[in-house]
Amino acid sequence: MRNATKYKFVLLYFLLSPVTGVLAQGDTFDLLSIEKQRILDKASAYTSEKPVTVTTYPATRSAGGIHDFYSEGDYWWPDPDDPRAPYVRRDGLSNPDNFVAHRRAMIRFSEITATLVSAFILTGESTYSDLALEHLDAWFINEKTRMNPSLLYGQAIQGRATGRSIGIIDTIHLVEVARSVKVLEQNNALPSKKLSGIKDWFATYLDWLQTHPYGQKERIHPNNHGVCWSMQAAVFADLVGQTEILTWVRNQFKTVYLEKMMALDGSFPAELSRTKPYGYSLFVLDAMSTVAQTSSTQDDDLWTYQLPDGRGLKKGVAFLFPYMQDKNAWPYPEDVLYWNDWPVRQPSLLFAGLRYGESKYLKLWESLEADPAVAEIVRKLPVRHPLLWMNSGEYARGKARDQARQARQARKARGQSKFPY
The three-class DSSP label of residue 70 is: strand
Residue 410 has a pLDDT of 53
Residue 413 has a pLDDT of 55
Q: Is the pLDDT of residue 373 over 60?
A: yes
**Confidence band, pLDDT 50/70/90 cuts, at residue 201:** very high
| Strand positions, DSSP E, 250-347 | none
Q: Are 362 and 355 in contact (CB under 8 A)?
A: no
Average pLDDT over residues 125-130: 98
**Confidence band, pLDDT 50/70/90 cuts, at residue 28:** confident
Q: Are 30 and 19 in contact (CB under 8 A)?
A: yes
- Domain presence at residue 412: no
Q: Which residue has the higher pLDDT, 137 or 408?
A: 137
- Domain presence at residue 290: yes
Instruction: Say whether both 117 and 255 belong to one domain.
Output: no
Residue 195 has a pLDDT of 98
CATH label of the domain that carries residue 226: 1.50.10.100
Burial of 308 (0-12, 13-18, 19+ CB in 10 A): exposed
- Domain presence at residue 409: no
- Domain presence at residue 408: no
Instruction: Say whether both 203 and 286 belong to one domain.
Output: no
Residue 91 has a pLDDT of 85
- Domain presence at residue 148: yes
Q: Are 285 and 316 in contact (CB under 8 A)?
A: yes
Residue 23 has a pLDDT of 52
Number of domains observed in the structure of the chain: 2
| Mean pLDDT lowest among 141-155, 229-243, 333-347, 403-417 | 403-417
DSSP 5: G
Please tell me the distance from the alpha carbon of residue 252 to that of residue 166, in angstroms, as a whole number: 18
* pTM score above 0.75: yes
**Confidence band, pLDDT 50/70/90 cuts, at residue 115:** very high
- Domain presence at residue 395: no
Instruction: Say whether both 160 and 230 belong to one domain.
Output: no
**Domain finish residue from 201, 217, 233:** 217
- Domain presence at residue 407: no
Instruction: Say whether both 48 and 64 belong to one domain.
Output: yes
- Domain presence at residue 15: no
Domain carrying residue 50: 24-217
Q: Are 90 and 77 in contact (CB under 8 A)?
A: yes
